[in-house]
Amino acid sequence: MTDTSLLEALTEQLDREVTNKLQTEKLARFDANPEEVEQGLAKLVLTLIELIRQLLERQAVRRVESGNLTEAQIERMGETFIRLEARMKELKVAFGLENEELNINLGPLGNLL
């Protein structure tokens, strides 16, 4: 199964489960606190960035293993991933997030990351 088809399958499954929960359970009252909203949004955005980063790294490894890249291209990709990882660490510190907090539990599907 490709990364894209896996992501599509997970998205469809998550959509079905959320729809089912919304139809069968009462929603908890939402108290909007600006600080918590900022934290939650940061967590969501960083989770998505981390997911995309991991997918891109897997694709990069496949491209390297295929032997179709020059040494310069491989070096540039490596530097890019190192910089992205460093920036992610900075952002997690800035928002007080740990790696474990970015790993969203998808219920029966398991963890996202």
8 in any annotated domain? no
Distance CA 5, CA 15 (A): 15
15 in any annotated domain? no
89 in any annotated domain? yes
DSSP assignments along 20-42, one per residue: HHHHHSPPPP----HHHHHHHHH
Asked if residues 46 and 97 have their Cβ atoms less than 8 Å apart, the reply is yes
113 in any annotated domain? no
Q: What is the pLDDT of residues 16-65, one digit of tens each?
A: 877 776 666 554 445 567 767 888 888 889 999 989 988 999 999 999 99
Query: Domain of 83?
Result: 38-98
4 in any annotated domain? no
69 in any annotated domain? yes
Q: What is the pLDDT of residues 56-103, one digit of tens each?
A: 999 999 999 999 899 999 999 999 999 999 999 999 999 888 888 888
Q: What is the number of domains present in the chain?
A: 1
Given a cut of 70, is residue 111 above it in pLDDT? Answer: yes
